[in-house]
Structure formats: C-alpha cells, structure tokens
C-alpha cells in the first residue's frame, strides 16, 4: 500500500494516476472530498493535524509527504513523522524544495524526516511550471499576465515529471537520495508569456510588477518568510538555482518536459 498526501494537488493527482496505472494499491489523502481513479481508496485527513493521518496508514509500506506553506510556518513535520513511524511505514518520499539545498528555506522539515529512522528520499524541485496557473484568469480575460523580474530565467519543472520521479522512489529503493528537479532549460516570465501566446495562437501581453507589488500579492496566500525566500529565488537566484539538474533524466531515463509541453497539456486553463 502506498499513501499519497496532497492527492489533489499539481503533483499528487498525477502521482496517484501513475501508481494506479501501474497496478499499485493506493490510498489518496486530501483535506476535501475528491474523485479518484477506479480502485484508489480516498481518505480525508490534514497534515496540519497529524493525528488525522493515522487511520490512513494502516498497512502502508510507503508514504509520499509534501511541504506546504503552513508546514513552514507551523513546523509540525516531526509530529507527522511520529505518526508515520508508529505505523511501521518503511519508506517516505518527501516533496521538499530546492530552497532547502540553497539555504533559502530552513531544513527543519527535511531533518524531521531524515532523523526519524524511516528510509527516505528527498525531492527538491525548483520553480514549478504550474505556477503559471496564477496568470490563467488574466490571460483568459485580457490576454495579459503580470509578474516581477521579467527577464530572470529559471528552469521551470513540470509537475508530471516530479510525480514520475516520486513514483519511482515510492516503488523501488532510492533511499538516502536527494534529487534536485528542474526543467530542461531556463525560462523567464517574459519568455513564458511568449510561449503561452504561441501555444494559444494569440499574443499575451506581459506587464512587469515591482518587487513590492509582487510581495503584496503573494502575502495574500503565503506566509511572509516563504514570500521573502521566494522573491529572493525569483529575483536574485544563485547559480545553483539557475542550473539545469540532470536528476529527472537520471531517474526516468528521459529528458524532462519543457514549459511549452506543460502549456500544451493545460491549454484549456488559458483559453
């Protein structure tokens, strides 16, 4: 049995599908009711309330855990891992962040996993291609998008590639490995607008936000420390954060998908 938390998210949903297609017994966990592939058990639980996770872990061999913004604020991964360990789980795959490796985010969440005694694999994705969903409404209604740091390029990773790497780590022994997950090429916000417009067949206007404007918007849905770290990575990335990682290809045996691939697959969101 493989338990997937965050099963309705940009990574969790394709991960559940990949595992179900492979014939694995899957328990999908989310905070709200959700439709799942045939044969997948769904349970409502909340990682911010670790005790709710306990009933989902009966018979579980492996668990996929994610770090949400509230985890960075509340620091309760240690409690989650106590529940996981007590259930006898053998393997944990943690969706962490490249920012831990570049020291933009604290390592507390990863430390709770690595010090638990359970076999672990760390996934450290950089900038998500799916962050472009934040522009979907303005692109649909105005054919425009706004973002800070117009020409700072980062290699945006497709969540399907993250899910595929997670599936590999859940199904076989990748214990002790830390994978930095990126797309195949760096792409700036202005270039993302151009790619979306090209796939749509209509131009998308790009408007550059100031750092303060972006900060104000982000504070409506992210804790302040996460906002500051994110703006730092987007605006003044380190060489490591701009570098394309070989880890997706190493695990999957194929090149990571491009930002254009992601847009084409999610085009209805922008029409």
pLDDT digits (tens, 9 = 90+) for 225-257: 889 999 999 999 999 999 999 999 999 999 999
Specify the pLDDT at position 175: 95
Distance CA 262, CA 124 (A): 19
Under the banding of pLDDT at 50, 70 and 90, the label for residue 74 is low
Specify the pLDDT at position 225: 87
Specify the pLDDT at position 70: 58
For the stretch 178-235, pLDDT in tens is 999 999 999 999 999 999 999 999 999 999 999 999 999 999 988 898 899 999 999 9
Specify the pLDDT at position 67: 78
pTM score of the predicted model: 0.95
76 by Cβ neighbours in 10 Å (0-12 / 13-18 / 19+) ranks as middle
Q: Which residue has the tokens 């900060």?
A: 215
For the stretch 84-96, pLDDT in tens is 999 999 999 999 9
* Chain-centre distance for alpha carbon 227: 16
Q: Give 3-state DSSP helix, strand, coil % of the chain, rounded to 5.
A: 45, 15, 35
Mean model confidence pLDDT for the chain: 95
Across the strands, what pairs with 180?
124
Distance CA 181, CA 188 (A): 17
Specify the pLDDT at position 47: 86
Gap between the terminal Cα atoms of the chain: 39
% residues pLDDT > 90 (the chain)? 88
DSSP H or E segment with residue 179: strand 178-181
Distance CA 118, CA 60 (A): 13
Distance CA 22, CA 4 (A): 15
Tokens of 226: 């996460």
For the stretch 8-55, pLDDT in tens is 999 999 999 999 999 999 999 999 999 999 999 999 998 888 899 999
Specify the pLDDT at position 73: 52
Distance CA 19, CA 167 (A): 7
Of residues 86, 62, 77, the one with CA closest to residue 169:
62
DSSP string, 63-128: EEEE--HHHHHH--HHHHHHHHHHTT--EEEEE--HHHHTTSS-SHHHHHHHTSSSEEEEEEE-SB
Under the banding of pLDDT at 50, 70 and 90, the label for residue 69 is low
């Amino acid at each position: 049995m493989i338990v997937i938390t965050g099963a309705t998210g940009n990574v969790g949903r394709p991960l559940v599908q990949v595992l179900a297609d492979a014939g694995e017994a899957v328990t999908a966990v989310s905070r709200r009711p959700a439709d799942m592939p045939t044969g997948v058990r769904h349970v409502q639980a909340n990682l911010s309330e670790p005790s709710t996770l306990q009933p989902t872990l009966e018979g579980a061999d492996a668990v996929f855990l994610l770090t949400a913004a509230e985890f960075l604020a509340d620091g309760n991964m240690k409690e989650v891992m106590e529940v996981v360990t007590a259930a006898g789980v053998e393997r944990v795959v943690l969706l962490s962040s490249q920012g831990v490796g570049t020291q933009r985010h604290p390592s507390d969440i990863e430390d709770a996993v690595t010090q638990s005694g359970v076999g672990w694999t760390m996934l450290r994705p950089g900038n998500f291609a799916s962050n472009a969903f934040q522009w979907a409404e303005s692109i649909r209604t105005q054919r425009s998008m706004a973002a800070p740091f117009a020409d700072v390029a980062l290699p945006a990773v497709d969540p399907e590639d993250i899910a595929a790497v997670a599936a590999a780590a859940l199904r076989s022994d990748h214990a002790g490995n830390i994978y930095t997950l990126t797309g195949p090429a760096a792409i700036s916000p202005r270039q993302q607008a151009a790619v979306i417009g090209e796939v749509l067949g209509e131009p998308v206007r790009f408007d550059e936000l100031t750092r303060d404007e972006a900060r104000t918007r982000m504070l409506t849905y992210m804790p302040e420390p996460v906002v500051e770290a994110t703006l730092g990575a987007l605006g003044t990335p380190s060489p490591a954060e701009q570098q394309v990682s070989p880890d997706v290809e190493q695990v999957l045996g194929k090149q990571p998908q491009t930002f254009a691939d992601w847009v084409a697959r999610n085009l209805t969101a922008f029409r």
